[in-house]
Amino acid sequence: AALREVAREVAFDGLARLPALDVFVGETYTVKVPETALNDAAEQQTAITSVANGTVDVGVIRAARRIELYLTGDDQRSKADAARREVLSFMEDNDVFFGGAAERSVRESTLGIAQSWNINHTDAEKRTQNWKTIEGIADIMNRYPDIPCEVLGTTTSAKAAPAPLADYFGLDRTRDVRDIMYRLSRSRAEACQAALIERGVPAERLQVRAEPLTGETKVDFVPKANSPSGAVAGLPEGLPFRLLHVRSADSGVGEALRQIGAFTAENEVIFNGAGEDGLPRAEQAWDVAHLDAHTRASNKRTLAGVAKIMSDFPSMCLEVHGETGAASIAPTALAAHFRL
């Protein structure tokens, strides 16, 4: 596919930062430095491993008048596929075992309920097996140093959480069963993440995820071609560069992103605050039909505008991202609605 320029920036103070519109986290880039009066031609491989606040940092190992970045994602994906196959084969005969929150050995342990997500099982044989599994996964991941890994914790289906676990989190074992089991599955995944870091896997290559009530209690390790975590080195001072993109499957994504970005810079969806006086119901805080008629009409225009842009790019998918402001305590009405 033909290369398409998607960004042009200049680095200052040892760092080049560009909008993450057409940058794909986890993809491998070839950095080509052309020959200039001051530099010989050079080439190196790098990967984007971090996107923060809508921007990404790109680094090269040497100064030059100009660099050109070409996206070569097939190599990254093939390495991730190979790593996944090795992990799946290894996990056929290995596992990570945790004590059940309701087990007597857990309740009577030094850590108490927290023992139910401790890699160091109270049973010596299972403790040894756990570290054998962690070391095996670490060995595989360290042989693929540019591949991130998702650590996924899951729990079995349940209508009620174990009473000791509910008491530990201060939640209702029946009403809050999903929240309780989420915390358990995430804590176990985080314990495995910490153990992998201890065995030499860089923290920025590990992403924790939890899925409660899936029907199976376990921790999986999933090498991936992309990850939102990590960090990369900065560019030398004063270095201009061009970023060129070559993923034919994403044809049009840059233009779609630019149109969405330009439109939403002038238009937004505004909601009533959950703590506002006079709300007829808690759900009004996430109803696009704002109580103010002018804002309600503006929301409708915003959504119609986004829909129009997406209809012009039928092969594109849209991620709808919601966020809230920082707060030390939730609105009373909202907490009451969720019974938390």
pLDDT by residue (tens digit) across 254-306?
677 778 888 888 888 899 988 888 889 989 999 999 999 999 999 999 999 98
Q: Which long-range contacts (CB under 8 A, 24 or more apart) does 271-274 make?
A: 273/331, 274/330, 274/331, 274/333, 274/334
What angle do helix axes 73-91 and 124-142 make, rounded to 10 degrees?
160
Residues 273, 284, 170: CA angle, nearest 5 degrees: 75
The helix/strand/coil state of 44 is strand
> Is 185 within 8 Å of 212 (Cβ atoms)?
yes
Beta bridge pairs of residue 84: none
Position 34 scores a pLDDT of 53
With 0.75 as the threshold, say if the pTM is over it. Answer: no
Which segment of 44-58, 130-144, 152-166, 254-268 scores lowest on mean pLDDT? 44-58
| Cβ atoms of residues 306 and 260 within 8 Å | yes
Query: What pLDDT score does 70 carry?
Result: 41
Give the mean pLDDT of 51-60. 63
Separation CA 171–CA 177 (nearest Å): 8
User: b/e string for 242-258 if b means 16 or more Cβ within 10 A?
Assistant: ebbbebeebeebbbbbe
